[in-house]
Structure 1
Amino acid sequence: MKSASGIVSDRSPLLAYLLLAAVSIWWAGSYLLIKIAVLDVPPATLATARLLIASAALLVWLRLTKVGFLPLDLSSGVRYVQIALFGHALPLYLIAWASETVRVSEMAILVATTPLFAVLFAHFAQREWPSRGTVFGLLVGFVGLSALLGHSAGFTFHAGRGTVPLLALLGAAASYALSGRAVARLQDANALVTGTAVMICAIPMLLPLSLAFERPWTIAPSAQALAALLLLGVMSTAVVYVVYYRLIGLSGPTFASMHHYLVPALSIILSAVFANERLTLSQVTLIAPVVASIVIGRGLISRKL
């Protein structure tokens, strides 16, 4: 794996960008799917079901590809538990819980702060600071996100709604950043094996919460909610997380976490296409600095900033 603050190797920039695009598109769509599913499935049960479906899909994938099975050594096991907690159990629950009261655009924008947490954690953990180009790219993305946030008519602090769900989403962002560092320390790990192991480890972290407080056997979800849940489990959790781990191995967690800058912009576009929400010219204009931050962070514009 690359260093915690590494960026994409010059030998494979195209693949890194393609993986980044795939992750961004599917996770942008996942916020819409969560809003559909959470109408009938409570948050802990929703997060647990995603993990169960994803684990089943990945176990079949492992069987078909014959890449081996899960390692049993203590070092890998500890790392898998860390990734399961910070990359799956905690953020999936926080996002599902917040989605009951927070709009899709708000969720995407607040979780998009993950790259800033990733850089901060890299600085404290390794006592090193990323290049000025990377920092500038992060700042450009943050400014773009702030502009999108301020422009969004839905992002208002209603008198009847506290800030706790918003803080929960920031907690999910920080949790994802911690997970990315743990994944980066899995030297030469197979992305499919890693994805399968951490999904399985995350299930017992959430299942007791679902059973004790949400009584999932009493839930009768609609066909639409079930379809959303299946897509969340198979694509947005199983397949995309494997792709994400591959991206981290290729580019490092700082660059990989920058998909959160693309997700809010893509969420606006997907909402316009599938939810008939209006996409204004000013919103399209504000997407530009978000996309530019990816290029600047890669260091292609200037290495002397």
Structure 2
Amino acid sequence: MTDMKSALAAASDRFSLLAYCLLALVSIWWAGSYLLIKIAVVDVPPATLATARLLIASSVLLVWLRLSRAGSLPSKLGSWAGYARIALFGHALPLYLIAWASMTVPVREMAILVATTPLFAAFFAHVSQREWPSSATVFGLLVGFFGLAAFLGHSAGSILHSNASAAPRLALFAAAASYALSSSSVARLKDANAIVTGTAVMICAIPMLLPLSLAFERPWAIAPTAPALTALLLLGVMSTAVVYVAYYRLIRLSGPAFASMHHYLVPAASITLGAVFLDERLDLDQIAFMTPVIASVFIARGLISRKL
């Protein structure tokens, strides 16, 4: 019995370590994605940008699926209903809204607004279970949110006192809510294969955005510059294909509420990456504000039920 308990504890530790590693990977790469979107959207309109990301990602994942022999796409039409729901709320809608908002909203503001995703995730999860969040769950989520708000308030000023248009910012709140809905749908999927899930979802999302791109943005007339094209390729291959597969694995491993905590880490990671690669100044105040944000992830890991 003792040996069995030890084995179970060791397995739990391995899963916890993997969850943290996947969360770090997703956070760091998606921190850079906001910068890539800013570069690409200069030459590529929002719907076309989102559609191109999905086309590139689905191509990469189809090759990956075939070479890895990890599984196959479902053959029955009814099996695609779950994938279509994830495609709408996890890709088509938020990718377009974020790309559209990026034309006017600074990167740091984008990050903090989308960082409300964990709060939406907890709210939707508890509403679907017809019960309200426990005080412990609320505490773990709010520690990260208020730490993040203080951190970005120090760095970029308060969003609430901004005189800019509210529409792009409301769009980012909508993207956060959409991501939360998608995470819950991923957690309920019977198929645990992240590559199959990612491939099917990308394929479903393309026809949701392609008509918008063709009707209003004339993609055949676009001539992107080299930086925009490079940013688009990185967004498609890494941010939309590879990292989403890691994200789906994280959701299956730890649940959507914990997985959505990457939104808390992305803004801090963006500042850190800027300090490392762009020689931007990182002062002690910024480091102090990062502390509760990072701590909230460990708090949430212990407080949030895997049922979320």
Q: TM-score scaled to structure 1, two decimals?
A: 0.91
Match of residue 189 from structure 1? 192
2:177 to 174, 179, 184: 174
Match of residue 16 from structure 1? 19
1:68 CA drift (Å): 2.7
1:41 CA drift (Å): 0.7
Closer/same/farther in 2, CA of residues 183 and 65 from structure 1, 3 Å limit: same
Q: Which has the higher contact order (CA 8 A, sep 6+)?
A: 1
1:247 to 250, 263, 267: 250
2:94 to 79, 91, 95: 91
Alignment of 1:122 with 2:162, yes or no, is no
1:145-164 equivalences under 5 Å are: 145-153=148-156, 156=159, 158-159=162-163, 161-164=164-167
Secondary structure at the counterpart of residue 46 of structure 1? helix
Match of residue 5 from structure 1? none
Instruction: Report if the CA contact (8 A) 1:118-1:177 is conserved.
Output: yes
Instruction: Kindly provide the amino acid, as one letter, of the partner of residue 45 in structure 1.
Output: T
Instruction: Report if the CA contact (8 A) 1:114-1:177 is conserved.
Output: yes
1:167 CA drift (Å): 0.6
1:91 CA drift (Å): 0.3
**Per-residue CA distance 1:159-217 (angstroms, 9 max, x = gap):** 4x311101100100000000000000102421000000000100000011111111111
Instruction: Kindly provide the amino acid, as one letter, of the partner of residue 124 in structure 1.
Output: V
Instruction: Kindly provide the amino acid, as one letter, of the partner of residue 51 in structure 2.
Output: T
Secondary structure at the counterpart of residue 28 of structure 1? helix
2:168 to 162, 165, 177: 165
Structure 2 distance, partners of 1:272, 1:155, is 22
Alignment of 1:298 with 2:301, yes or no, is yes
Match of residue 278 from structure 1? 281
Instruction: Kindly provide the amino acid, as one letter, of the partner of residue 78 in structure 1.
Output: A
Structure 2 distance, partners of 1:13, 1:129, is 26
Structure 1 distance, partners of 2:296, 2:152, is 16
Structure 2 distance, partners of 1:87, 1:55, is 15
Structure 2 distance, partners of 1:56, 1:96, is 21
Q: TM-score scaled to structure 2, two decimals?
A: 0.90
Structure 2 distance, partners of 1:164, 1:152, is 23
Secondary structure at the counterpart of residue 71 of structure 1? coil
1:30-45 equivalences under 5 Å are: 30-45=33-48
Structure 2 distance, partners of 1:154, 1:238, is 34
Instruction: Report if the CA contact (8 A) 1:137-1:296 is conserved.
Output: yes
Instruction: Report if the CA contact (8 A) 1:103-1:154 is conserved.
Output: no
Structure 2 distance, partners of 1:64, 1:128, is 44
2:261 to 258, 263, 280: 258
Q: Which runs of 5+ in 2 are unaligned?
A: 1-10, 304-308
Moved more, 164-173 or 278-287: 278-287
Instruction: Report if the CA contact (8 A) 1:184-1:248 is conserved.
Output: yes
Secondary structure at the counterpart of residue 179 of structure 1? helix
Q: Aligned residues: percent identity? A: 75
Instruction: Report if the CA contact (8 A) 1:119-1:254 is conserved.
Output: yes
Closer/same/farther in 2, CA of residues 25 and 55 from structure 1, 3 Å limit: same
1:268 CA drift (Å): 1.3
**Per-residue CA distance 1:20-56 (angstroms, 9 max, x = gap):** 1111111111001111111111111100000000000
Instruction: Report if the CA contact (8 A) 2:48-2:219 is conserved.
Output: yes
Instruction: Report if the CA contact (8 A) 1:44-1:210 is conserved.
Output: yes
1:286 CA drift (Å): 0.4
Structure 1 distance, partners of 2:102, 2:12, is 36
Alignment of 1:268 with 2:271, yes or no, is yes
**Per-residue CA distance 1:260-288 (angstroms, 9 max, x = gap):** 11111101112333344332221111000
Instruction: Report if the CA contact (8 A) 2:71-2:193 is conserved.
Output: no
Instruction: Kindly provide the amino acid, as one letter, of the partner of residue 61 in structure 2.
Output: L
**Per-residue CA distance 1:82-127 (angstroms, 9 max, x = gap):** 0000000000000000000011111111101100000000111012
Alignment of 1:202 with 2:201, yes or no, is no
More helix as a share of residues: 2
- Cα RMSD of the aligned pairs, angstroms, is 1.7
Instruction: Report if the CA contact (8 A) 2:38-2:102 is conserved.
Output: yes
Match of residue 112 from structure 1? 115
Instruction: Report if the CA contact (8 A) 1:37-1:46 is conserved.
Output: yes
Alignment of 1:27 with 2:30, yes or no, is yes
